[in-house]
Each structure stands twice: as structure tokens, then as C-alpha cells.
Chains A and B, each alone.
Chain A
């Protein structure tokens, strides 16, 4: 890696950045938009959370241990699953929740083992400086993808109930009857990842790459990491969503192949 001097912000420089929030706060106040409290709270939360995580990561990086790395990644995974439940557009049936948890644990684990051990070949494998942020990106993207997939599946089953039942009446299996809804949910889950791959480097520079460049890495080295990450993210989202959809469509049918949970 071609090291250059990284830029460290001083306390005052960082403080100047808060001027943006002051401007935002003033605008909503003048315009009478009741969001002042939310802006203050979210700014404070962001600041405190990031400072805490910064110190936590510093301690973890200075004392690398496989258990600590794994516990942190498991915590992120658990939080991501909880977030998917919270962000669903309608109430989720407990069986759909199980499908989400199984798909995320299985899909993310399989993809991460391959990505970290075969592609990145970390040494040691639990190197927290790479393991934790990369896991975070993969888990975060899988979370976004699966949330979209869950919503589309639930909406599809509710709005296309007649079509599903018409396919059953004609002698189709539940899988055949849900085929187009499953495809739409997969599409919806994958589109943000596909779109961001298309626009990457032209429309925007991805956060991780920007961060690496600011921190002094050579752009070419940052780009190589970014490409690997994007491929890993696309693969993880695809695997996780496929597992989820494979498990979840069955929840809407009982053992007699009757559509039962279209309102869930």
C-alpha cells in the first residue's frame, strides 16, 4: 500500500462541522416543521454512539481476540435481524420472523466464511481491524436487501391473493402459485445493490473507499477492496434473500396447500 499522510481532524475542525446541524435546526424552526427535537436527539445519538464505538474498536484492535471479534459480529447480526422485524411495513407472522432469522444467520455466515477466508485471506482470521468493518458492511447490506424482500413478499401475497388461488385452482403447487411473487421479492431485494454497482465510481464514491483514501491508502488499493466488498455484498444479499424466500413462501400455505396467511 502506498502510504501517505492521513488527515486527522482537530477538535475545532470537528466542531465547525456541527454548523450544518445548526443551519438545519434553524431552517426547520423558521419553517415551523416540528422536527427540532428529533434533529437534536439524532445528532447527539450519532455523536455519542460513534465516540463509544470508536473507543470500543480501539480497545478491540489493540487486544485482538477471536471471541471478542465473533461476539461483536454476532451482536451486529442480532441487531440487524431485529431491525428487519422493526422495518417491515406490516406486522410479521412469527413463522416469517423465523425464516428471516434463519436466512440471515445462514446466508451471512456462509458468505462471510467464503469472503473472509478465501477472498481476503485474513491473517489472523479474526483480525478485528478488517473482520469487524467488513462484516458490518455485508450485514448492513443484507439487512437492507432482506427488508425490501420481506416487504415485497408480504405485499405480493396480500395483493395478489386471487392470482395465487387461481393458480392453485388450476392444479399448481404452492411454489408455482407464488412463483411470480417470489421473483418480484427477489428483484426488489437485489435492485439497490445492482443499482449501486452500476452507479459506483461515476455517480458516487462509496463510503469505504472514500474513507480508505482519506486515511491515506492509495486509490488503486482502495478500489480493489471496494470491488471485492461489492461482489461480496451482492453475493450475500442474493444468498440470504434466496434462503429467506425459499423458507418464507411456505408460511402462507398450510399442509393441504391452501392459502392461509395472506393477511400476515
Chain B
């Protein structure tokens, strides 16, 4: 089944995609040089930006015609620099659910989400006291508590050491597969892409900046 179909999409001076299809329920890795437009592409899929030209279809529907809020609740994104909201780890987990229109989960469910990303911290820990890598894992845990079908991750392990990165990404992929979801992930780690990807998208092929 097709998740995204991208037709004649142009974002001026950054990317140009004449035709690209992304299948559903797969682990998709996006690789490419810095500045090749990987994050821009992910922002288009999350509909944080619209292309200057062309059409993006999500499950057969032009995303410009879909409700943008409902669309983002279905296609969630975790940015490369994790954003923490004021308050504790618990507050940060629950705010994601509230923003997504869900009722907040109990503490046991929240703890499970933290365990999934190997973040062994108390729910009462202030989020801003966490290290960069811990914040990145908290952002991933927050995403797993949402009711999304598609997860867009922008370099989810950039602040993690390689052992923790493998552990966290593997656990996240297990979650995606067990829940029958789709994952589209930007990574600089070609080894990781080779190991986990069902589909790899080379952004250099669509980049206006790549030589």
C-alpha cells in the first residue's frame, strides 16, 4: 500500500522531486549530504511547509486538501533538536498527548514509554535538567504516546553515543513494527540505514544543491 506519492514537487533552490513513491508500514531511511534538503523534505511530509510547486498525496489524497491539524496528528514529526516544554518529564509526555487531542495517559504508561527509549529517569525530573541525548530520547518517547500512523524522525540519534543509538533506534523500530506503523527517518549513519531500512531514499538525487 502506498503511503506518500510525490509528484513534480519543487522547493525553490533546495529540492526537486519529479516522481517518488513511499510505501506504507516500512522503515524508510533518508540519507544524503548536509544541505541536500532532507529536513526540508520531512517538513513537507509533516505539512509544516508547502512546496512551491507540485503535489504530495498521502494515502491517495492531496495533502493540501486535508485538514492540516488532523494530518499532523496522523503524521507526527520529531525534530533534530528536541524541544522541551516547561515542567517535568511527565508534563512533557502529557503535553504531546494534549496537543494531539488525546486524553493523558497514566503514570504506568508514561514509564513504559520512557523504558522503551532507555530513559531511566523519574517522571518528576525537570525536563530542562536532561542532557541533549536524554532530551532526544524523551522527544521519541513523547512521540510513541501519540496516535500517529506515520513517524517522521529527523536524525533521532544525533546526540546519542553509538551503543545507545542502536539500542534506542532498534526499540523504536520494534514499536513501529509491532504497532503496524510507518517510519521515515533521516540519518547520517549509512551503516544504520543499511541495517534497518526497508527502503532508502537518497536525497542527493533530488537535491538542487548536490553536485
Contacts and interface: CB of A to CB of B under 8 A. Distances in A.
Interface stretch (A126-134, A137-145, A163-171): A163-171
A259 to B, nearest CB: 8
With a 10 A CB-CB cut-off, give which of A171, A177, A259 has the most chain B CB atoms: A171
B83 A176 contact: no
Interface extent on B, as a size class? Answer: 20 to 34
Contacts of A169: 46, 48, 72, 76-79
Interface residues of A, number: 18
Nearest to A174: B69
A94 B148 CA distance: 37
Interface in B62-77: 64, 68-69, 72-73, 76-77
B69 A171 contact: yes
A162 B81 contact: yes
B135 to A, nearest CB: 12
Contact of B79 (A166, A171, A180): A166
B136 to A, nearest CB: 13
A172 B77 CA distance: 12
A130 B64 CA distance: 56
30 contacts: A162-B79, A162-B81, A163-B85, A166-B79, A167-B99, A169-B77, A170-B72, A170-B76, A170-B95, A170-B99, A170-B146, A171-B72, A171-B73, A171-B76, A171-B100, A171-B101, A171-B148, A172-B69, A172-B99, A172-B100, A176-B98, A176-B99, A177-B99, A256-B47, A256-B64, A256-B68, A257-B69, A257-B72, A258-B68, A259-B48
Interface of B: 46-50, 64, 68-69, 72-73, 76-79, 81, 83, 85-86, 95-96, 98-101, 142, 146, 148
Interface of A: 162-163, 165-173, 176-177, 180, 256-259
